[in-house]
Amino acid sequence: MTARKQNRPSTDVSRVYSWNVNGIRAATKKGLDQWIRKSNAEIIGLQEVRADPTAIPEEILALDEYQQHYVAAEKKGYSGVGLLSRRKPDRLDTTLGEERFDSEGRLQVARFGRLIIANGYFPNGSGKNRSNDRVPYKLDWYRALFDRVEKWRRGGYRVLVMGDFNTAHKDIDLARPKDNRKTSGFLPVECEELDRWIEAGWVDSFRAFEPGPGHYSWWSQRFGVRAKNIGWRIDYILASPSALPFIKHAFIEPDTMGSDHCPIGVDLDPGIFARQSA
């Protein structure tokens, strides 16, 4: 795992990262543990862990400055999420209340004071032979999570929903939009679901700071694609309106290698954790 430039947080912010590592064991062989040590992150959400909690690499478990929690799918080597945090969550939930969702190990919802972080590995809709037959399941999963986080938001919490959303929202969010109108990840019905979140008040934190093109978080592993930056921005940190004022910066780290995705993150005013506003 290499990074030409390490995006270092300032000392007066709490950094939160999200990264689809495309297999925690493979990523660790490429230096994931070293990246975590250098990140100075307060909280890290991992997606596509693809390992049972008993199979997490020793190098990761040795990061004892972090509380660690992992959720695995019933299917071996599939899906899975992980959460590393310097502070212990006040509460941690992993269910959407339906077996068809929960069996795939795609979600952690952690409460830290007044901050709620939902770390999700949103389903891919491609299905068998790229038939898009998983799109209905994908959209149902989106809607179930939306209903869950809306309850936290209405309850007065500051909420961040982060992870691999497996959807590029707008033309600007992928290098070749015209070629992918019929590809899951950029189908109109998928983009419309993200529209629904934004119209409900959720804010794409990266776009709050960077309106321009050419910023992606996933690239095909075909030779030369990443070097040419022919990518998709499918990893997001969505913020509730109450969380947005605490976000000081949002970023993507495309030079960090080790997965077909790269890390994304936000720098937070530590006051976001406070049980009551100062």
Q: Could you tell me if residue 4 is inside a domain? A: no
Q: Could you tell me if residue 111 is inside a domain? A: yes
| Average pLDDT of the residues in 239-243 | 98
Q: Could you tell me if residue 265 is inside a domain? A: yes
Q: Could you tell me if residue 200 is inside a domain? A: yes
* Domain span holding position 236: 14-272
Concatenated DSSP letters of 142-206: HHHHHHHHHHHHHTT-EEEEEEE-S---SGGGBS-GGGGTTSTTS-HHHHHHHHHHHHTT-EEHH
Widest CA span in the chain:
54
Which among 33, 164, 204, 235 is annotated as catalytic?
Answer: 164
Containing H/E element for 90?
none
Q: Does 164 qualify as catalytic in the annotation?
A: yes
Using DSSP bridges, classify how beta strands 43-47 and 14-20 pair: parallel, antiparallel or unpaired: parallel
Model confidence band, residue 105 (pLDDT cutoffs 50, 70, 90) = very high
Q: Could you tell me if residue 277 is inside a domain? A: no
Whether the pLDDT of residue 158 is over 70: the answer is: yes
Tokens of 212: 């321009």
Average pLDDT for the chain: 95
Q: Could you tell me if residue 6 is inside a domain? A: no
Q: Could you tell me if residue 59 is inside a domain? A: yes
The pLDDT tens digits for 192-224 are 999 999 999 999 999 999 999 999 999 999 999
CA distance 165 to 22: 14
Cβ contact 121:80 at 8 Å: yes
Which comes out higher in pLDDT, residue 129 or 183? 183
The pLDDT value recorded for residue 3 is: 39
Q: Could you tell me if residue 66 is inside a domain? A: yes
The pLDDT value recorded for residue 159 is: 98
Give me the number of domains the chain comprises.
Answer: 1
The CATH number of the domain where 173 resides is what?
Answer: 3.60.10.10
CA distance 35 to 177: 32
* Angle at alpha carbon of residue 22, lines to 160 and 38, rounded to 5°: 65
Cβ contact 250:206 at 8 Å: yes
Return all residues near 216 (Cβ < 8 A) that are at least 6 apart. 173, 174, 175, 229, 231, 232, 233, 252, 254
Return all residues near 12 (Cβ < 8 A) that are at least 6 apart. 270
The pLDDT value recorded for residue 184 is: 98
Cβ contact 65:57 at 8 Å: no
* Angle at alpha carbon of residue 220, lines to 119 and 139, rounded to 5°: 45
Looking at the whole model, is its pTM more than 0.75? yes
| Average pLDDT of the residues in 261-266 | 98
